[in-house]
Amino acid sequence: MKKLINDPRAVVDESVEGFGLAHADLVTVSADPAYIVRKDAPVAGKVGLVSGGGSGHEPLHGGYVGMGMLDAAVPGAVFTSPTPDQILPATLAVNSGAGVVHIVKNYTGDVLNFETAAELAQAEGVEVRTVLVNDDVAVEDSLYTAGRRGVGGTVLVEKIAGAAAERGDSLDAVAAVGDRVNQNVRSMGVALTACTVPHAGAPSFVLEENEIEIGIGIHGEPGRHRIAMENADGITDRLLEPVVSDLGLASGDKVLLFVNGMGGTPQSELYIVYRRAAQQLAGKGITVARSLVGNYITSLEMQGCSITVLRLDDEMTALWDAPVHTPALRWGV
Amino acid sequence: MGLDVQWALRWLALSAEAMAEHREELIELDRPIGDSDHGENMDRGFKAVMVKIAEAPPETAGAALKMTAMTLMSKVGGAAGPLYGTAFLRAATALGDADDIDAATLAAAFQAARDGIVARGKAESGDKTMVDAWTPAVDAAVAAAGNSDVHKVLAAAAEAAEAGAVSTDPMLARKGRASYLGERSIGHRDPGAVSTALILRAAVGAAG
């Protein structure tokens, strides 16, 4: 294992410290318990948005703290959900009185820890709503699994719900917009290589030179099945097809197409995937109205990508276009 | 003679030792069907418990377990933190401020712990989770409680938990991260069931 680290157990602390130093104009970092809040939090009259999860997915979530997106992010250990003793003070720090929305990716640990923190916050008089993100079509959503995982769609929920909060929407309205994004977004990912959790010291699974793993999540967990390596167009089709059919997209629909890198794949390859996905959607009469291409929700140094498609309406499009100023996403300002 | 606060403190210390000693093993078990963090999280959590206990030594077994619960809930993260936290909290409540814990109270505490885990995690027997170690342990503890020997209750629980952990090998995971794997989860042992067995084995050692 070769990594730019000092102590495997200090990875998150040291990284968050550096993040705070680099973006001191936008965020304030609390070291213990670890959480990141928007510099001007709490913003008077505004609903607070808090998200969080295991570390290793950077720039998610800390990179999205700032005007027009999150008010706070709570980083857990690598691939491990944060704990209520972090989530609670982050929630209290961004509550202006208008209430707080928790954006939670659907993993057993995240759900249990955010649920506990929400109960504690409510006991302190803060109204909390939870938006659960579960956009991963690779997982069967049934009584027999923990349900679909939250993956690429999370970035879009955070941006769009963040814009709704910024324009002054009520607590229930912000949560409703977040839920609406989640209902209209689906994702699917592929790994060309595994990743290595610093404190584990070895790759989380092994892929041979000619193998890829289809339907991966973002925690180095293996996916649904393993196939022989294919070219970019072939892999793109395998990811896009289940997303399009699960969303029930039809000719005339407008979408946001988001091609996300898992951390170890160059931007140039992501555009090759984007090219094919855009062509395929155009061939079905689906308009790609907005795009996002890059490393926005990663899995350490894993090579691979995910494709996320959001069915847009006019309001979601306007909220997507609204100004945002965070360390990782910035436009309109 | 029942169990007291000294037993509880030895139990937690031996649990912490077991988590440190089996850290790599739990990481290895978690690698194929989870995300390689169980050993790290449990080790970190029980180390934090040891620090808390040293700072403010609890005076009853119930208080020791409650302190453990709050620390695990706030320090472990993942699913294991809230689940073990709830387990220790319910067990602490069942013990109350008893300082001479008899066999029936001990079995009831284990039962309360298991019920707490089921209530929080909503897993059932056969889902390939820590419940598959806890439920046979509780059944064995309740059965052994009849002869009023706390040592037999502890031994029966630990033995059943160990067998329960092994029984997860052929199961298809239906809860937690392993459930994403479907059929591919078969043939692996559930790390949460293994850590449960280690903790219940530590309780035996603590009773001497």
Q: Which H helix or E strand runs over A142? A: none
Residues of chain B with pLDDT under 50: none
Q: How many residue pairs from chains A and B have C-beta atoms closer than 8 A? A: 110
pLDDT at residue A144, rounded to an integer? 61
Residues A178-191, mean pLDDT to the nearest whole number: 97
CB nearest to A109's CB, from B31, B44, B77: B77
Residue of A57, A61, A102, A325 marked catalytic:
A57
What is the number of domains present in chain B?
A: 1
Of all residues in chain B, the one with the smallest CA distance to A138 is: B180
pLDDT for A123: 82
With an 8 Å Cβ cutoff, are A202 and B184 in contact? no
Per residue in A48-100, pLDDT (tens digit) is 999 999 999 999 999 999 999 999 999 999 998 999 999 999 999 999 999 99
Q: For residue A143, is pLDDT > 80?
A: no
pLDDT at residue B200, as a whole number: 98
Its domain, for residue B158, covers: 5-206
Answer with the residue of higher pLDDT: A311 or B78.
A311
Arithmetic mean of pLDDT, A238-260: 97
Residue A229: pLDDT over 70: yes
The model carries a pTM of 0.86
In this prediction, residue B77 carries a pLDDT of 80
Tell me what pLDDT residue A261 has.
98
Over range A12-37, report the average pLDDT: 97
pLDDT digits (tens, 9 = 90+) for A103-142: 999 998 899 999 989 988 988 899 999 999 999 998 766 5
- What pLDDT does B36 receive? 79
- Return the residue in B43, B180, B184 with the most chain A beta carbons within 10 A, the one to mutate for interface testing: B180
- The reply to whether residue B37 touches residue A77, judged by beta carbons under 8 angstroms, is yes
Q: What sign does the CA torsion over A90, A79, A17, A160 have?
A: negative
The arithmetic mean of pLDDT across residues A18-26, rounded, is 98
Known active-site residue A102:
no
Q: B31 to chain A: which residues are within 8 Å by CB?
A: 200, 202, 204-205
Using beta carbons and an 8 Å cutoff, which residues of A are at the interface with B?
54, 76-85, 107-109, 112-113, 115-116, 138-140, 143-146, 149, 197, 199-200, 202, 204-205, 217, 219-224
Q: Report the half-sphere exposure of A274 (CA within 13 A, side-chain side).
A: 18
- The 3 state secondary structure assigned to chain B is CCECHHHHHHHHHHHHHHHHHCHHHHHHHHHHHCCCCHHHHHHHHHHHHHHHHHHCCCCCHHHHHHHHHHHHHHHCCCCHHHHHHHHHHHHHHHHCCCCCECHHHHHHHHHHHHHHHHHHHCCCCCCCCCHHHHHHHHHHHHHHHHHCCHHHHHHHHHHHHHHHHHHCCCCCCCCCHHHHHHHHHCCCCCHHHHHHHHHHHHHHHHCC
CATH number of B82's domain: 1.25.40.340
Q: What is the pLDDT of residue A153?
A: 98
Chain A residues whose beta carbon lies within 8 Å of the beta carbon of residue B33: 221
Q: Give yes or no for residue A246 having a pLDDT over 70.
A: yes
Q: Does the annotation count A225 as an active-site position?
A: no
Residues of B in contact with A216 (CB under 8 A): none
**Mean predicted confidence (pLDDT) in A8-36:** 96
What integer pLDDT is reported at residue A224 of this predicted model?
A: 73
pLDDT at residue A15 tops 80: yes
Least confident among A185-189, A320-324, B28-32: B28-32
DSSP type of residue A6: S
- CB distance B174–A217 less than 8 Å? no
**Total count of residues recorded for chain A:** 333
CB-nearest to A80 from B31, B37, B176 is B37
